[in-house]
Chain A
Amino acid sequence: MLNKEQITTLLQFVASVTPDKISCDACLDLVPELAESQLGNRPLTEVLEDVQNHIDNCPCCAKEYETFLEALHAIAEE
């Protein structure tokens, strides 16, 4: 039985999807470049735009990217 919250999650998951050109592996290979561009406030190249778009579509890569940024902040502090 799905309750209202679960139905809403499912509908949001469906309604928010956009076309995605790349795979999880391709995304994870390029996150170092994405992170440095974003942390350095540099404009994203077309490929990095695709990586960001994948992250917006993929909850697993999104969580992993968030974890990666936390780790990068920790090593930048030294």
Chain B
Amino acid sequence: MVESEAQTDEWVLRLRDTQLQGAALQELRKVLLRGLSRAFNGKGGGESFCEDVAQDTLIRILEKLDQFSGRSKFTTWAMSIAVRIGTSQFRRKMFKDVSINSLGDEENMKFEFADEDQVSPEDLEDRRSIVETLRSLIETSLTDKQKQATQAILGGMPVEEIASRTDSNRNAVYKLIHDARMRLKQGLESSGYSAEDVLSAFA
């Protein structure tokens, strides 16, 4: 099903028309459910999860209809809203009982080198030295919030979940972590370790 420009316009017209809206919503719901089932069923989001997300999406689409720019097909835009709502609900469900701890916590800052695979003493020394540099950079150049958010995202927690636990928002948490990564990367570079050096030492 490739949607033409005329079909995109038709979706918008039908959803704005009180007479035609009901049937259009029914049709759109089916399209959304098809996409949501494929996207979430394999991840553990079942049928009722997808139904709820589709319902929430239809409401959101009616609210946001004036913001549809027409720069993509209507169903592509609608699907993006559905996936956004679905992802956020799915992540909330998955991480509901997970708390966050900080990269700065002493326990988390210990690095274990036991059972090294076949690595020459020189390479092992490189690794130790990179890790030691990183440890001291984390200690000296990151704020507590940056340490906490970076640890959480490395543990697999999504940014919006970190945000909800730290009274923040997704954009701000992303920026906090991005700034921390840039600072650590620049710090490693100033200490003589390029990104390539780091990646190849731990390849």
A24 CA to B175 CA, complexed, in Å: 9
Residues of B within 8 A of A42 (CB): none
Q: With A74-B35, A74-B37 given, is the CB distance from A68 to B130 under 8 Å?
A: no
Residues of A within 8 A of B35 (CB): 70-72, 74-75
Selected contact of A7 from candidates B36, B38, B111, CB within 8 Å: B111
Chain B residue, CB-CB nearest to A57: B178
Q: Is B71 part of the contact surface with A, judged by Cβ < 8 Å?
A: yes
Q: Is B24 part of the contact surface with A, judged by Cβ < 8 Å?
A: no
Chain A residue, CB-CB nearest to B107: A1
Residues of B within 8 A of A12 (CB): 199, 202
A17 CA to B198 CA, complexed, in Å: 13
Give, as a whole number of angstroms, the nearest-CB distance from A29 to chain B: 8
Q: Is A46 part of the contact surface with B, judged by Cβ < 8 Å?
A: no
Residues of A within 8 A of B112 (CB): 1-4
CB–CB B110/A1 < 8 A: yes
A59 CA to B185 CA, complexed, in Å: 17
Q: How many A-B pairs fall under 8 Å by CB? A: 139
B interface majority secondary structure: helix
Give, as a whole number of angstroms, the nearest-CB distance from B75 to chain A: 6
Selected contact of A72 from candidates B40, B76, B158, B170, CB within 8 Å: B76
CB–CB B181/A17 < 8 A: yes
Q: Is B165 part of the contact surface with A, judged by Cβ < 8 Å?
A: no
Q: Is A41 part of the contact surface with B, judged by Cβ < 8 Å?
A: no
A63 CA to B43 CA, complexed, in Å: 12
Residues of A within 8 A of B37 (CB): 74
A17 CA to B182 CA, complexed, in Å: 7
CB–CB A67/B87 < 8 A: yes
A76 CA to B150 CA, complexed, in Å: 37
Q: With A2-B112, A15-B198, A75-B1 given, is the CB distance from A28 to B181 under 8 Å?
A: no
